[in-house]
Amino acid sequence: MSQQTARRGGAAWALVITSVAGFMAALDNLVVTTALPSIREDLGGGLHDLEWTVSAYTLTFAVLLMFGAALGDRFGRRRLFIAGLVVFTGASAAAAMAPGIDSLIAARAVQGAGAAVMMPLTLTLLTAAVPVAKRGMAYGIWGAVNGLAVASGPLVGGTLTEHMSWQWIFWLNVPLGLALLPLARLRLAESHGTGAPLDVPGTLLASGGLFGIVYGLVRGPAEGWTSSLVLTGLFAGGALLVGFILYSTRAKNPMLPMRLFRSRAFSGINAASLLMFLGMFGSIFLLSQYMQGVLGYSPTEAGLRMLPWTGMPMLVAPIAGILADRIGGRPVVAAGLFLQALGLGYMAVVATADASYVSQLPALIVSGVGMALFFAPASHLVMSSVRPSEQGIASGANNALREVGGALGIAVMGSIFAAQGGYETGQTFVDGMRPALVTGSAVVALAGIAALLIPTRRRMEQQAQSAEPAPVLETAAH
């Protein structure tokens, strides 16, 4: 076998392995949403337990994402990828066998930690294996597979829950993970990063702060907003986050350099990303339960009916990419966010205890188009807002803030739902969901305003001309 053929074979295997691993991690963000009513019926628990079933994964995923990438750079990317895959696969099996809601939440948290180590290394390993000339195509396939996971999450979760059991949304990961482990060991090449020291204090401060705030928001409706546990979580979490910001401004090798936020472009797109995911995840969390618990759809039917929203990026994203190339990413992202806000607001208006699907469809389509217009150019805006040497940090920060937004969205909108309604009847559910969706719409509209603060393409190009030239590796990646 020639060297070129061997390299092509390595690239093909790397694409398969990293795409499947990315699919697994992305799928578990939303796959559980359509299974929540069945989980509640089987394992019991209140609203806060259901929130933690989703948030335990997104929160540990978010706060450990950059730390996982740093671990791979320091100790070997293939080695840590395999370790993350082992943790993720084992935690998936533990979630499937969970005897109660608390053990399920614990398994989901461990699952998120495994994904946080595994996910950021997929693109790094793929970059190392694919020849420069082929990277654009490889990244496109990798991105499409991850997009498919997000789009199909509610449908896959609903189908498995209805025709098998909710446990199978977690069992699905086990054979995939076991198949990938030997392939990763045999077919992926080992690589290392710069060897910069790990930012353990920063990770502990960020993790503790985010956990305290989300814990307080989730437990507030059940314990009371003036209870000592809730107040301790909120105030201690806020103090730890302030400590993280102060620490990161002075640390030599911080996990997230605060100086990046001096860039109006970087601050704007990251604020928009956090707020977008806050409104979107919180809405999907409630709407998936509304379609089943109130409107009476089966899990599969609910997943199918949400496809105009969650699946629209697969159709519209290429068009959004073309538009962004022609007129710049800023107006496309802003338009997408305002459309998403309009869709959520419209859904709040038409939602009733006996609403027809036809009345909801325009809201789902508008929200889906808005989501697609956001996703396509947002990553490019992140990368173009920093110097090429900082693009890895910028990408990790943006992904982490998106996941944090998702966890906060479920907590915030779940708290609003609990304060205004409940699960007693279909009408009480709608009474709680409507103000939550209005809040989600307002938050996403704020994201649109944040996107408008991003400098125009001409201004960013002028800034880029004075920056260092981008290496071939980074240019191909993005």
d(CA 477, CA 268): 22
Average pLDDT, the chain: 79
Model pTM score? 0.74
* pLDDT given at position 473: 38
Q: What is the mean pLDDT of residues 454-469?
A: 57
Q: CA torsion angle for 326, 475, 456, 336 (degrees, to 10)?
A: 60
Q: What is the mean pLDDT of residues 17-27?
A: 83
Are the C-beta atoms of residues 253 and 231 closer than 8 Å to each other? no
Amino acid at 11: A
The CA-atom distances, in angstroms, between 434 and each of 245, 403, 425 are 35, 24, 14
* pLDDT given at position 317: 67
Q: pLDDT (tens digit, 9 = 90+) per residue, 320-371? A: 767 777 777 788 889 989 999 999 999 999 988 888 889 889 998 898 888 8
- pLDDT at residue 471 tops 50: no
* pLDDT given at position 305: 83
- pLDDT at residue 315 tops 80: no
The tokens describing 236, both together, are: 């201690």
Q: pLDDT (tens digit, 9 = 90+) per residue, 376-417? A: 677 667 767 766 656 666 766 777 777 778 777 877 888 888
The tokens describing 281, both together, are: 């995840």
pLDDT > 90 in the chain, percent: 13
Q: What is the mean pLDDT of residues 42-65?
A: 76
- 85 pLDDT tier (thresholds 50, 70, 90): very high
- pLDDT at residue 468 tops 50: no
- 50 pLDDT tier (thresholds 50, 70, 90): confident
Are the C-beta atoms of residues 242 and 263 closer than 8 Å to each other? no
- pLDDT at residue 94 tops 80: yes
Q: What is the mean pLDDT of residues 178-206?
A: 80
Q: pLDDT (tens digit, 9 = 90+) per residue, 258-273? A: 887 887 888 888 899 8
In this predicted structure, which of 92-101, 192-201, 465-474 has the lowest mean pLDDT?
A: 465-474
Are the C-beta atoms of residues 280 and 436 closer than 8 Å to each other? no
pLDDT > 70 in the chain, percent: 83
d(CA 346, CA 267): 29
pLDDT higher at 399 or 101: 101
Are the C-beta atoms of residues 409 and 279 closer than 8 Å to each other? yes
* pLDDT given at position 446: 93
* pLDDT given at position 339: 92
- 418 pLDDT tier (thresholds 50, 70, 90): confident
* pLDDT given at position 275: 92
The CA-atom distances, in angstroms, between 308 and each of 142, 288, 416 are 22, 13, 26
pLDDT higher at 426 or 6: 426
- 56 pLDDT tier (thresholds 50, 70, 90): confident
- 184 pLDDT tier (thresholds 50, 70, 90): confident
* pLDDT given at position 338: 94
